[in-house]
Amino acid sequence: MIKVKSCSSCKEVKMVNAFYINTSRRDGRQSNCIKCQNDYFNNVYYKKNREAIIKKIRKYKKNNPEKLNLPSTSKRFVYSRINQLVMGTLENYLDIEENLKTKISKDVLDGVKRIKEISIK
């Protein structure tokens, strides 16, 4: 059985998965579809409550500095740091480990050294 629901904002009938989950409601979904919900937040709610939202974000950043400037451990981040090592913009891998609190394996660092040696020749 295909479940459909009507959006209370745009009045369109859509699939149930086009609505955010809300377990407090009888059918388990929001009354507005995802598109209408996002439009409301971005265009109406944010404009009305901009100062309060900004104040809340600033308070969080002030109270949680340890959670903010953590380096990413994603491949993209690590590879950008490796590229900086190869290009010589970072002098040594200790800068990465101490200042950025990122661990790069010994094999990767050996590879960087080999690439530097090849590029110098």
- The domain of 59 spans 4-63
Task: Please indicate, yes or no, if residue 111 is contained in any of the structural domains.
Answer: yes
pTM of the model: 0.45
Mean of all residue pLDDT scores within the chain? 76
Burial 6-30 (b: 16+ CB within 10 A, else e): ebeeeeeebeeebbeeeeeeeeebb
Give, in order, the Cα–Cα distances in Å from 85 to each of 32, 78, 91, 96.
50, 11, 7, 9
The percentage of the chain sitting over the pLDDT mark of 70, rounded to a whole number, equals 54
Tell me: do 58 and 90 sit in the same domain. Answer: no
Residues 47, 53, 55, 57, Cα dihedral to 10°: -140
CATH of the domain at 27: 3.30.60
Alpha carbons within 13 angstroms on the beta-carbon side of residue 22 total: 15
Tell me: do 9 and 59 sit in the same domain. Answer: yes
Strands (DSSP E) contained in the chain are 4-6, 13-15, 19-21, 29-33
Task: Please indicate, yes or no, if residue 70 is contained in any of the structural domains.
Answer: no
Task: Please indicate, yes or no, if residue 100 is contained in any of the structural domains.
Answer: yes
Q: What's the burial of 94, exposed, middle or buried (CB within 10 Å: 0-12/13-18/19+)?
A: exposed
What is the number of domains present in the chain? 2
Task: Please indicate, yes or no, if residue 9 is contained in any of the structural domains.
Answer: yes
Convert the pLDDT of each residue in 6-35 to its tens digit.
Answer: 999 999 999 999 999 999 999 899 999 999
